Chains A and B, each alone.
Chain A
Amino acid sequence: MKNSRNILDETPFQTAGPFLHIGCMPNKIKINNLYKNDLGEVPFKNKNEIEMITVEGSVFDGNGIALDDVMLETWQCDENGQFFEDNGFARFIPDKSTKKFKLLTVKPGQVENLDGKNQSPHICLSISSRGLNMTLNTRIYFEGDDLINDPILSMIKNDKVNIDSLVAKKIKKNVYVFDVFLQGDKETVFFDM
């Protein structure tokens, strides 16, 4: 049957597989003489480190094992709620020995929703790896912010969803922990957006 609006189908996803580093961050696996830098090494250029926050955590599978072959990508606005074309994107993997990832970035500001309401500060996070037939999307909100009035969080709060999984816990000044659970009781909320 012909689609009445005659739009094309989106190309389907396939898993990124275990060797995604070759294509996306070759310098990380010591393919060094190809690209000068891996893309997304730092989300913002020319920022003062003192004003930055650290978001760290692990990605756990259904056995509770922290994974080291996942790639995380983040996209966010700056501290004033402004989106830029050439800033705000980061790409990283967990450390091979500690299995922890670490994102050093600016705390995002508020951005306006369609209805003019402010969305609470958040970072968009995508996760790709072996075993994931599609890239997963979630959001990192921050403990200590006003999360009650966020239009997205208030929209989904009645769905018995694990809203806690979307909130990075503050462990000290400018340091947050955000663990991702792919399965289990603490399974992270993933979005279709």
Chain B
Amino acid sequence: MNVKSLVKRNYKKQPEIDFPDYKSSIFRAPKNKKISIPSNLEIFGPIFNKKTIGELDNDLTLNFSKNKNSPLGHKIIVHGTVSDQFSNPIKGALIEIWQANAAGKYLHQDDKNPAPIDPNFSGCGRSLTSSDGSYEFLTIQPGPYPYPNRGIEWRPMHIHFSIFGESFGQRLITQMYFEGDPLINICPMVNSIADEKAKKSLVGKLDTSRSNIQNILAYKFDIVLRGVKQTFFENRQEGL
């Protein structure tokens, strides 16, 4: 019989879990090696219904605005595709994003950065990918902000992404950075990834053609989830 399984994760292309330059990891990162198990059951996963997604959920410039007032800052389009490692587009993938406002402040009681809240901006959005795996958000350019790490350090401008593909084992939480931001290369969270190409894959590219058509700066960020492969499995008594 044919069974589906997930491509084994390549940890050389992933961040180091135990990375003391990122201070919060010191007492949180597990010290033991992960135990490898077959992924055949995590091949299933929740699928999210179109009906749960509201019309403005992917428009952060309007989904929290009062009386249609725009949030402060300049508008940006963030778009791209979600595919698996075999370049198959993933349809119906749930993307949830969250970000700081233009002043670098999150709408969150735990954010101690003394920057102003924007009453018209929540920094929260979500969307399901179309049949070709594409997604799009309209939002505001997030500001960089200081945070306590080894003393005060600065986060590069970024948007947090949470993605559900078709399998629970494809689950991904990451961040998109912005092309040209000088803070990227000195960010310990970015530098927890040793592989240069992997690091670069988190940088959204300025999409000039799109920016010129719509009069809004556009960034392209393509996301790759683990591949789902079909393998033949002989169902014998002795198993594997």
A192–B199 Cα distance when bound, in Å, is: 21
Q: Which of A1-53 contact B (CB under 8 A)?
A: 7-24, 26, 29, 31, 33-37, 39-40
Q: Which of B125-173 contact A (CB under 8 A)?
A: 125-126, 160, 162, 168-169, 171-173
Q: Please name the residue on chain B nearest to A153 by beta carbon.
A: B37
CB distance from A49 to the nearest CB of B (A): 21
Interface-centre pick from B19, B27, B96, B226 (highest chain A CB count, 10 A): B27
Contact with A along B66-79 (1 / 0, CB 8 A): 00000000000000
Q: Please name the residue on chain A nearest to B193 by beta carbon.
A: A12
A118–B46 Cα distance when bound, in Å, is: 22
A130 and B24 contacting across the interface, CB-CB below 8 Å: yes
Q: What is the total of A-B residue contacts with beta carbons within 8 Å?
A: 248
B52 and A9 contacting across the interface, CB-CB below 8 Å: no
Q: Which of A12, A88, A182 meets B15, CB within 8 Å?
A: A12
A162–B7 Cα distance when bound, in Å, is: 26
A12 and B13 contacting across the interface, CB-CB below 8 Å: yes
- Contacts A190-B35, A192-B36 given: A85-B47 contact, CB under 8 Å? yes
Q: Please name the residue on chain B nearest to A69 by beta carbon.
A: B110
Residues of B within 8 A of A73 (CB): 171
Stretch from A121-129, A140-148, A168-176 at the B interface: A121-129
Residues of A within 8 A of B8 (CB): 192
Q: Please name the residue on chain B nearest to A129 by beta carbon.
A: B28
Contact with A along B217-232 (1 / 0, CB 8 A): 0000001111100000
Q: Please name the residue on chain B nearest to A152 by beta carbon.
A: B37
Q: Which of B111, B172, B227 meets A13, CB within 8 Å?
A: B172
B57 at the interface (CB under 8 A from A): yes
CB distance from A126 to the nearest CB of B (A): 6
B-side interface residues, number (CB < 8 Å): 91
A9 and B85 contacting across the interface, CB-CB below 8 Å: yes
Residues of A within 8 A of B14 (CB): 10, 12-13, 134
CB distance from B150 to the nearest CB of A (A): 14
Q: Which of A135, A137, A156, A188 meets B173, CB within 8 Å?
A: A135
A19 and B98 contacting across the interface, CB-CB below 8 Å: yes
A16 and B162 contacting across the interface, CB-CB below 8 Å: yes
Residues of A within 8 A of B29 (CB): 131-133, 182-183
- Contacts A10-B9, A10-B224, A34-B64 given: A133-B16 contact, CB under 8 Å? yes
Range for the number of chain A residues in contact with chain B: 35 or more
Residues of B within 8 A of A189 (CB): 32, 35
Q: Please name the residue on chain A nearest to B15 by beta carbon.
A: A133
Contact with B along A49-84 (1 / 0, CB 8 A): 000000000000111010101000101000000010
Q: Which of B42, B46, B192, B224 meets A133, CB within 8 Å?
A: B192
Q: Which residues of B contact A (CB under 8 A)?
A: 3, 6-11, 13-17, 19, 22, 24-32, 34-42, 44-49, 52, 54, 57, 63-64, 83, 85-87, 94, 96-98, 106-111, 122-126, 160, 162, 168-169, 171-175, 189-190, 192-193, 195, 197-199, 201-202, 223-227, 233, 235-236, 239-240
Instruction: List the 3 shortest-distance A-B pairs measured between CB atoms, nearest first.
Output: A115-B239, A23-B98, A131-B24
